[in-house]
Amino acid sequence: MLAGLMWGSRGLFIRQLSSFGLNNYVTIFGRMFSAALFLGLIFLIKDPRLFKVSYKDWTLMIGSGVIGMGIINVFYNIAII
């Protein structure tokens, strides 16, 4: 329920930030960077071995993580605005 509430309230923040003059890419970068920093700190405290990624998984990680999430966020923000 909390995840659904947070996902649904995203539109309020996106509209507000766009009214301040921030474009789509700045809001996505800020949100993804803060999430990566937050999760990175949690992983670093909990178990630094969680950062280890095998060489064969890098393409999957980049494709689904960076490119996939980036495209989803761009189109979702455009639909909201």
The Cα–Cα gap between 71 and 68 comes to: 5
Residue 38, pLDDT score:
92
Closest CA to 14 of 33, 30, 1: 30
Residue 37, pLDDT score:
93
Residue 79, pLDDT score:
82
Tens of pLDDT, residues 9-65: 777 778 888 888 888 788 888 888 888 899 899 999 999 888 888 888 888 888 887
Question: What is each CA distance from 31 to 44, 57, 67, in whole angstroms?
Answer: 20, 24, 15
The Cα–Cα gap between 54 and 48 comes to: 15
Residue 44, pLDDT score:
92
